[in-house]
Amino acid sequence: MRGYVDDQTWMRGRIEALPGPWQRRLESKWRGMYGRSIFDANTFLRKQTDALAAVRIPIDASDDEICGAAQALALRCAELATRRHDAQALRQAMEKVVERQGIEPPADKVRTGPAIARMACELWWRRKLRRHHGRAVEASAIALGIVNKRAEIYCSNETLRRRQKQNTRNAAALEATIARNELGQEYTLAELAAKGPANKAIKRAELMTRIAGFERIARDMGHAGLFLTITCPSRMHPWRTVGGWKVEQNPRYDNETTPRTAQAYLAKVWARIRAQLHRIGSKLYGFRIAEPQHDGTPHWHLLVFHKPEHADAIRASVTKHALRDSPNEPGAHAHRVDFRVIDWEKGSAAGYIAKYVAKNIDGYRVEADLHGNPAMETSARVEAWATTWGIRQFQQVGGPPVGPWRELRRIEALPSGAPDHLIKAHNAVNRLAVIEGREHASVAWDHYCHAQGGVFCGRDYRVRLSQVQDAGLNRYGEEAAPRTVGVETVGIEHYTPEHMKHMRQAPQIPRAVLWEVESTRYKWEIVGRAPAHGMGAIAAAKLAPWTRVNNCTEGGSHGDRINEGAPCAMRERLPERGGHGQKPTGPIHAAHASIHGAGSGPDRAGDNRAREHSHEPCRPQFGGAPWQQ
Contacts of 80 (CB under 8 A, 6+ apart): 90, 93, 94, 97
The rounded distance, in Å, linking the Cα atoms of 322 and 329 is 13
Contacts of 586 (CB under 8 A, 6+ apart): 113
Beta-strand relationship, 571-573 and 246-249:
unpaired
DSSP state of 542: -
Are the beta carbons of 263 and 231 closer than 8 angstroms?
A: no
Contacts of 475 (CB under 8 A, 6+ apart): 117, 121, 123, 590, 593, 594, 598, 599, 600
The rounded distance, in Å, linking the Cα atoms of 451 and 444 is 11
522 annotated active-site: no
The rounded distance, in Å, linking the Cα atoms of 233 and 237 is 7
Decide: helix, strand or coil at residue 39.
helix
Nearest to 133 by CA among 70, 216, 215, 197: 70
Decide: helix, strand or coil at residue 620.
coil
User: Helical H runs in 185-235?
Assistant: 189-193, 200-221
Q: Phi, psi at residue 172, to the nearest 5°?
A: -65, -40
Contacts of 206 (CB under 8 A, 6+ apart): 197, 402
In angstroms, what is the C-alpha Rg of the chain?
A: 28
DSSP state of 549: B
Give counts: helices (H), strands (E), the chain. Answer: 20, 15
**Beta strands, E only, 148-204:** 177-180, 186-188
Catalytic residue among 34, 187, 356, 448: 356
448 annotated active-site: no
Q: Tell me the three-class secondary structure of 502-541, residue by residue.
A: CCCCCCCEEEEEEEEEECCCCCCEEEEECCCCCCHHHHHC
The rounded distance, in Å, linking the Cα atoms of 54 and 223 is 52
Q: Tell me the three-class secondary structure of 317-368, residue by residue.
A: HHHHHHCCCCCCCCCHHHHCEEEEECCCCCCCHHHHHHHHHHHCCCCCCCCE
Q: Which helix (H) or strand (E) holds 597?
A: none
The rounded distance, in Å, linking the Cα atoms of 270 and 260 is 15
Are the beta carbons of 549 and 179 closer than 8 angstroms?
A: yes
Q: Write out the catalytic residue numbers.
A: 352, 356
